[in-house]
Structure 1
Amino acid sequence: MASNTSRRSNPDARMSLRAHLREFRNRLIYAAIGVAVCSVVGWVIYEPVFEALQAPIIEAAESQDALVTVNFAGLATALDMKIKVSLFVGVALSSPWWLYQLWAFVAPGLKSKEKRYTIGFLASAIPLFGAGLFLAWWIYPQAVRILTGFTPEGGSNFLDAQMLMSFTMRLFLAFGIAFVFPVVMVFLSWSGVVRTRTWLKGWRWAVMIIFIAAAMLTPTPDVVTMLTMAGPMVALYFGAIGVARLGERRRDRKRAAALDDA
């Protein structure tokens, strides 16, 4: 009886599974609306974006004195390419909005003090996601140059437009999401879900997984590109542990002071 009474009197009682699913659906719809609105902007600026994506291919053709070009094989391929580029731009431009929706989905299960991390989460996640996109943009021309360099002398390389867009989206989104993960680490530690000693204890596994993921996600077979992705991720991993440890110490001191007062 007492448990039922406290549950009714507590407005912050745990949400039911149905309520969680409803909240997840709503946040997903809000995020999709944001992506759709920003995709309209991507549709408008399609030409300069596609020219920027095509520039490394043109440079590779000139430097190698070979025929390297984007091929639109199907009747509707050009339209499909424009839609995919618009969606890609929409995801990138709306990243502050859908990152906020991700946080807003998690926030109801947090305590009032933990909800204050919202500004810090967004202030860290958005620049890191942008940094991941920027690094991918730096790697993209190198990837095009290296991969097209395997074309035999006298041969031609007709790059399928669908393949090129899938390749580009995977590269950019992989870098962006990978750079946001350290913020999730800090959030889990500050919320008391994972202790920093757990992150430190598994650092060897983490470094190995980072290098394996970098080898899988980077499109080129060279070691330099893999290190370009894995190096910053390893640094961010240990940096996140340091930041998480600071917050953990502060929380432990407050908890110890509360116990002493009690």
Structure 2
Amino acid sequence: MKIPFDPRRRRAVVNPDGTMSIVDHLYELRTRILWSLLAIVLAAVIGFFWYNHSMLGLRPSGELLRGPYCELPESARAEITRTGECRLLATGVFDQFNLRVKVAFATGVLLACPVWLYQVWSFIVPALHRKEKRYTLAFVTMGGVLFLSGAILGYFMIANAFRFLLTVGNETQVTALQGADYFSFVLSVMAIFGVSFELPLFIIALNLVGVLPYAKLKKWRRGLLMSMFIVAAFISQSGDPLTMLVLGLALAVLLELSIQFCRIREKIKRRNAAGSDVFDGELDDEAASPTPSAPQPIGASAGASSGTVGNTAPIGQPEKVTRTSIPRSGFDDVL
């Protein structure tokens, strides 16, 4: 008997407790990557058209990207065209087409950042609790805003870096940049700034999963803050001190904000857990239950209420039994 094909059979099966097998993880990762690539390709088509055409009141992306170079003084850059228009140099047959495809792909990554950020979050979601899954919209929104903010900051840092680097010795030489090298430099700096600004979300995601609690962040705070400036010095493509300082300060501020978010989140979580335990009259899952008390002999409660302690024997020795006389009147009343 032929079993009909069920497209849901290939999907990863998530257990009620959120655990998944290695094969299910691989299927899930493959699905997320394919959706992300599809969104990037569709956005790259828009970026390919935007390269030479205005969109939504914005100048063409090619014109925007060559802006930092064209804003230099005319004495600092070479005049390639007869009319004196600012252009970049192309020396190969396929340089212009390859450059347009590269810019279109980078634009697609930038425009599709909400989609692939959502896919990244969806891959982490099975390890989270039900309340933490509600952060999906906030995660995608903040991730897109941070990525765009980092890319824009990198763009302005490039403009400031060019004013310093390409005007230092313009009295003796003129700069004539190739389009492929220039655009690769600009796009790499913008990508580095954009990805670096995702650091807070990465730390918060690890804290939500439970891998990176606030206690460790507090212990490693000084080392992490120092590492932000070291990382900024290594990943800065321009090499000028201003760009490294601005990137290091931005990463340090974002790191501190993410640490404070983790602190407030864990504090609220502990407060809510303590309030629910008091309200429900239940103990925490990790708290030990009280040991049941041993049965007390007859007359022990009266002695405890009067403040006297009954006869107790050490461990391993028999307890001495004392015979007490019962009044006759009380015995008659019992009968």
TM over 0.5: yes
3-state SS of 2:232 partner: helix
Quick one: distance in 1 between partners of 2:224 and 2:186? 26
Partner of 2:204: 186
The answer to whether the aligner puts 1:38 opposite 2:43 as a matched pair is yes
SS in 1 for 2:175: strand
Label 1:65 to 1:126 Cα distance change in 2 as closer, same or farther (>3 A): closer
The normalised TM-score by structure 2 is 0.70
CA distance in structure 2 between the aligned counterparts of 1:43 and 1:152, rounded to whole angstroms: 35
1:219 lines up with 2:237 in the alignment: yes
Instruction: Name the structure 2 match of 1:6.
Output: none
Equivalence for 1:55: 67
Shift of 1:132: 0.7
Indicate conservation of the 8 Å contact 2:44/2:107, yes or no.
yes
1:155 CA displacement: 2.4
* Structure 1 counterpart of 2:33: 28
TM-score w.r.t. structure 1 length? 0.89
Say which of 98, 103, 123 aligns to 2:141: 123
Per the TM alignment, residue 162 of structure 1 is displaced from its structure 2 partner at its CA by 2.1
Structure 1 residue 209: deviation in Å? 1.6
1:235 and 2:240 matched: no
Residue in 1 aligned with 2:269?
Answer: 251
Deviations 1:13-68 (A, max 9, x none): 52111111111111001000000011111011102111111122122251x34417
**Hey, what does 1:7 align to over in structure 2?**
none
The structure-2 alpha-carbon separation of the partners of 1:16 and 1:140, relative to structure 1 and needing over 3 Å to count, comes to: same
In structure 1, what residue type is equivalent to 2:272?
K
CA RMSD of aligned residues (A): 2.2
Kept in 2, the 8 Å contact 1:114–1:191? The answer is no
CA distance in 2, matches of 1:194, 1:154: 54
User: Does the CA-based 8 Å contact 2:76-2:166 persist in structure 1?
Assistant: no
- DSSP 3-state at the match of 1:67: coil
> SS at the partner of 2:211?
coil
Deviation at 1:157, TM superposition (A): 2.5
Q: Alpha-carbon deviations, 1:225-244, whole Å to 9, x = none?
A: 21111112111111111111
In structure 2, which of residues 98, 102, 127 is the aligned counterpart of residue 84 of structure 1?
A: 102
Is 1:190–1:248's contact at 8 Å kept on the other side of the alignment? Answer: no
Structure exhibiting the larger radius of gyration computed from Cα positions? 2
CA shift at 1:152, angstroms? 5.3
Is 1:162 matched up with 2:180? yes
2:126 corresponds in structure 1 to 108
User: Relative to 1, partners in 2 of residues 1:195 and 1:76: Cα closer, same or farther, differing over 3 Å?
Assistant: same
**Structure with more contact order per residue of length (Cα contacts < 8 Å, sep ≥ 6):** 1
In the alignment, what sits opposite 1:3?
Answer: none
For the 8 Å contact 2:114–2:141, the answer to whether it is kept is: no
Equivalent residues, number? 254
CA–CA distance in 2 between the matches of 1:156 and 1:224? 23
Higher-helix-fraction structure: 1
Contact 1:30–1:101 (Cα < 8 Å) also in 2? yes
The alignment partner of 1:112 has SS state of coil
- Matched with 1:99 is 117
- For structure 1, list consecutive stretches of 5 or more residues without a partner in the other structure: 1-9
State the identity as a percent. 30
